[in-house]
Every structure is written in C-alpha cells, then in structure tokens.
Amino acid sequence: MNESNEFGFPIKKARESLEKAVNEVLGSLGCTGAVTLEKPPREMGDLALPCFTLAKTMRKNPALIAKDIETKLADHRFSDLQKFFELEAKGPYLNFTLRTDYLIANVLSSILRKGANYGTFPLRNEFVILEHTSANPNGPFHVGRARNPIIGDTLARILRKLGFTVEVQYWVNDMGRQAATLSWGKDNIPDSSVAPMDPDNPFKDKNDHRLVRFYQEAHRRIENDEKLAGEIDRILYEIEDGNDEIKQNVRANSIKVLEGMKESLSRLNINFDKFVWESATVEDGTVTEVIDILKRSEYAHQDQEAWYLELEEFGISGRSTRFYFTRGDGTSLYTTRDLAYHLSKLRQCDRAVNILGEDHKLQANQLKIALGLLGSKVLPESIFYSFVSLAEGKMSTRKAQVVYLDDLIHESLQRAYEEVARRRPMLDSEQKKRIGLEVGLGSIRYNIIRVQADKRIVFRWEEALNFEGDSSPFLQYAHARCCGILDKANYQNYETPSADDVEKMAGDDFVMGIHDNERNLIRILADFPDRIEVAGLGYRPHFIPKYLQDLASAFNNFYQSCPVISGTDENIKRFRLGLVECTRIVLAEGLDLLGITAPESM
RNA sequence: GGGCCCGUGGCCUAGCCUGGAUAAGGCGCCAGCCUUCUAAGCUGGAUUUCAGGGGUUCGAAUCCCCUCGGGUCCGCCA
C-alpha cells in the first residue's frame, strides 16, 4: 500500500509530483515562478502545460519549448513522475496523461478500501456554525425561498465530508411584527372569519397551512385599522419589556407553525441541530451588551434619541448610510438582535456561514462592519441566492401567486409515481410507491441545487418535474444499474475484487487493452475528492450535481460498450465488477451529499 | 440618484474567480439502437455575433470601461 492510498487522494499526489518536476525543469531553463497546469480537452490528456508565457521570457517558439521540457522530463531523475504520467508535446502544449496502471492500482483500490469514506477528508478540528432558512414562522414555505434550505443543507453535508464539524442552526424570529400578528390573529379571530380550508387540500391538517389563514386575515385587518396596529406594537413592547406571559404565547403560536415547516423540510431530508430564538438574545443580555459597546464607537451618532452607526466610510453608499441599532425609546431593533445572535455565535465557532436571499446583501454587509466594531475576530461569510420566481413574476402569498413547497412535493411524488407505473408496470404497488418517493423527492432537491446560487430560477412545472437527462433520476438510475449488475453477479457467485486484487490486476496485460470508456470512468472516479473540496471550500455546492452527471454519463457509456457479467474473459469480468462497485460507491456517496437517496432498483 | 447580481444554440444550464488547443451538457428537433447486465439508457445529425460596443493581450465567454435588458437593495420594519 502506498501513501496515496492512505489518504485516498491519488490525483493530488500525482499532480504534486508533476508540479515539482516541472518547476525544477523550468528553473534549470531559467524560468522561475509558479507554473499553472490546466485541464485540457479530454482527448489531449489529464493535465497540460501551455508554453506561451514561457515563449516571451525565453524568446523561443512555444512548440520548441514544449518539446524541450518533454525531453528534460524524460530524464531518469524524474522516474517518480514517469510512474504517474505519460508525456506528449503537442504544438505549444505539453500534455500529461495519467497512466492507466497507476489509475487502476490507486484509484480503484482506494475506493474499494475506503468504501463510503472515499472522498472523506481527515478531521480539521474546525467548528462551523451554518445558519440557513431562518424563515419567519408565519406560514408554509413557498418555493420562492426553497433554495435556502436546499443550498444550506447540501453545503452542510459537503463541509462535513471535508472534515469540518458543522452545527446547523435556524434563527427563529419570535419578536417581530409578523410573529405578533400571527399570535394576535390566532387569539382574536374566530375560525369562522378566516378563509375556509378546502376539504380536498392535502395539507389541511398541517399547522403552517392552517394558521397562515389567521395571519393573513389579521394582516388584512391591520391594514385598515390603525388602532389594531397599535395593539400589535403593544405586544412587541411587552415582549421586550420582559412580559413573560405574552412572550410565551407568541412563541407558542410560532412553534406550532414552525412544526409544520419543519415537517416539510424533513421530507426533503433537511434537519437542524439547533433552533435559536430571537428573544433569547434579549434575555441573556447580549443585546444590551451590543448596544453599550456600539454607543462608544467613534462611528456612533444620535438622531433625536435613536442611535445609529454612520457607515459611509466603510464603503456603504445609497440613500441612507445609517445603520440604526436602537429606537428613540432605547429598545432594540431586529438588526440589533441579529447582531447579538451573531456575536454569540462567533464567540463559539471558527467559521460562521449564512445562507441568505440576495435581498439581504446590504444588511449582511452592514452586519459584518458592525461585528468588526464589536471586536469580533471571525466574521460571518454569506452565500446569497436569487429567488425562484414564476413566469408571471414574483411569488406573492397575498396575490395568491404562489407555489407552496408542500404543493411541489405533493405534485412531484404524484408525477413520479405515474412515471414509475408507466415504465415499470410489472412492479407491485409497494415498489412503485417506494421508487416514486425516491425519485420525486430527489428531483426537487436536484433541480434547485444544480443551478449556481446567484442565478435566478424561473419556476416551471415541466422543468421541476423533469425525470430525464440532467436530473436526479438519471443519477439514481445509474446507481440502480450498478446494483442490478452486482446483484446478478452475486447470484452467480462472482465476487467483486478486493483492493489488493485490483492492485495486482494493474500489472496484467489486459490493462493495455482497456476500453476508452473504462479508462474515462476511472478518471472521473478519481476526481471525486477534488471536486468535493472545490465545491465545499468555494461554497459552490452546484459543482456536485455537475460532477455526478459526468460520472453517471461515463458509467452509462461504459455500460453500453463493456459487458460485465455477460463477458467471457474471467479477468475482465472481475475487473469490471470492481469498476461497477466503485461507481456504485461514489454515486451513492455523491447523492448523499445532495440529500438524495440512492435506490437499489427502479 | 447610488450599490450589488444575472444575460451562453429555439428553451434550460456548466464554464467566468485563477485568460489558452474545435464554447461543454440537458430539453426540444431529425436519423438510428431493446432475442445480449433495467431504453429514466446509448449512438449519429442540425442549430451559437458567449446581450451589444470599446479596450488590455501572442490569445477574451473568461480581465477592464461604457451601453442595453432583467433581478435585488438603500425604514427609529422584520
């Protein structure tokens, strides 16, 4: 067993060896500075060194330089490198192709040895608090904001795989006007005065769907009634003043709605480690602490009696550069409580990551500046996403222009079931239901996470419920195919090879005759750890679905061109079974990063 | 008025941070592949002024500037 197996990152090792060798050669040619290796078009190899920039300093044709370097690298001093790569100068490029025997001996054996832990990084001893969703508990989720929990949960899974210790938090607003409005509505509006619940509504028993009607009705009444608005203000004042009874009552109503919301997310495999209540920041004195410290800041000023920070010097521009942190009566604002929450969060963790809608960009920036003034060493990092909108425009609950997440889930499951029934009519209904569930739920997460966060998504049913091509079932199907082959092999008493077996095979003759599609599949399997790292550290979770798409596609090509069980040569059969097992492992692990199940049959 | 984000074949998306070899996938369209490990699959084909213009560079979808189109924000609200 060699070093790379121990860590399971064979490509990284090969790459480092290459960079070292290339740097040495360039140094001998009088060129210093870090070289950049890039990924060439597939037919050209696995890594490439473009020689244009060298041409300038060396005053020589780049094609000749490429040739030169190739010759130098062929020297016996670089025998280590030659174990990893085959070299070829092609025009102004020097291309490096990973040796197939190296790939087999290191990639496949790593995967077989580590199983589901392939691609798992060593623990980093870094504690991350990741906050996502934190939607006001006043009604059911609509898909306009569904990206938040999906991006957040996916990223949490990726960061954990990267060795971070992650705590996922939901910050619950129980001191705001929305919470008070909901609570007032529930306590003062009789059932008969709210919109009746459609008896066919599949969610008529969910608290978020039931209680939102009281919130909406209360909201409607407040708009035409100043006195009522004052009553809501009074509730808010009482809460901050420490009136326990009112606070508990508001919180109790929020909790009911929150239960319904949690249920929706939990169906999508999304759960939280901790719910932090906004009112707790007042109770534990952090809010007072924040206000006291900020008042002493050189950027603090007063407008009448209210305190604010003047942030123009920090590059904030626009109509108002003031960041208020108290009201005229000295009470806190939402932003103050948010600051307090972040301050205590940052005292506990090494990294704080927030998933926020793009409408929070300015606010997040102001928050960061204020936290700096509060003396926080660690500052929160934010990932912003654009909204999911409808073709008709923005989603709005009031204009009844809205698709609820529960509706989407419901519809997706129904459509998925119909698809299963159409494609696999022979299955029993229990099986159809199970597959429909896996496909239906997977599709929702997949279709949201596949798009980079800052790009707007226009919601269209036909796209959201697409089960072919760039979709979750495409990945799940490839996984099911792997399982099908392995099952059948097992039934026929063929064992998948062990890591040691595979290492031995790397020396065999048949490696020379390996099919392009086999080699390509191995190459992609090798990339998994790198892709997780880039997706996680760069906070770009959409890289994972892209990768899995490439992987599944490469597997399908392999499947089409390389018979496994029906093959005749025993060695090849064994080797391919190993390859299928490796693909199965990585697909399952990748799907898990996306919170999507990997069906064994479908 | 001022920020920030997005604009890639008919439609949707990746690539942009870190500039390189014919712009990569999917949907849809056309032509094929199920007596052989599940056709939610595979093979081949057609379709692109990478929003427009200028600049930097040996080289620009990628970097810089301007324009246009779309999103979003600028409350003693949350």
pLDDT in tens, A21-66: 998 888 888 776 667 788 998 889 999 999 988 887 788 889 999 9
- Examine domains A10-98 and A405-593 and report if their fold is the same: no
In angstroms, the CA A128 to CA A353 distance is 7
Q: b/e string for A455-479 if b means 16 or more Cβ within 10 A?
A: eebebeeeebbbbeeebbbbbbbbb
Instruction: Annotate A24-82 with DSSP letters as a single string.
Output: HHHHHTT--S----B---GGG-SEEEE-HHHHHHHTS-HHHHHHHHHHHHTSGGGHHHH
- Answer whether CATH 3.30.1360.70 is correct for domain A10-98: yes
Nearest 5 degrees, angle CA A521-CA A468-CA A423?
Answer: 110
| Cβ of A178 less than 7 A from strand B | yes
Q: Does pLDDT of A508 surpass 50? A: yes
Is the Cβ–Cβ distance between A48 and A98 less than 8 Å?
no
Class of domain A405-593: mainly alpha
DSSP E strand boundaries for A434-474: 457-459
Q: Where are the alpha helices (DSSP H) in A284-428?
A: 286-295, 334-348, 361-373, 405-423
Q: Quote ipTM for the complex.
A: 0.96
Q: Which nucleotide is nearest to A307 (CA to C1')?
A: B76
The pLDDT of residue A7 is 57
User: Average pLDDT over chain A, rounded to whole?
Assistant: 92
Nearest CA among A415, A478, A470 for reference residue A441: A415
Is the Cβ–Cβ distance between A339 and A373 less than 8 Å?
no
Q: Which nucleotide is nearest to A565 (CA to C1')?
A: B37
Covered bases, chain B (protein CB within 7 Å): 1-7, 12-15, 17-18, 20-22, 25-28, 36-43, 58-59, 70-78
| Cβ of A91 less than 7 A from strand B | yes
The pLDDT of residue A33 is 66
In angstroms, the CA A322 to CA A304 distance is 14
| Cβ of A582 less than 7 A from strand B | no
- Look up tokens 């004195």; give the residue: A285
CATH number corresponding to A132-390: 3.40.50.620
Share of residues in chain A with pLDDT > 70 (%): 98
Q: What is the pLDDT of residues A237-274, one digit of tens each?
A: 888 888 899 999 999 999 999 999 999 999 999 999 99
Sequence spans of domains, chain A: 10-98, 132-390, 405-593
Tokens of residue A532, six digits: 């997780």
Per-residue CB contacts under 7 A with strand B, chain A residues 222-281: 236, 278
CA A226 – C1' B41 distance (Å)?
63
Tokens of residue A432, six digits: 């159809």
The pLDDT of residue A281 is 93
- Look up tokens 């996502």; give the residue: A132
| Cβ of A56 less than 7 A from strand B | yes
The pLDDT of residue A566 is 85
| Cβ of A473 less than 7 A from strand B | yes
In angstroms, the CA A440 to CA A572 distance is 37
Residue type, A394: K
Cα diameter, chain A: 89
CA A17 – C1' B58 distance (Å)?
30
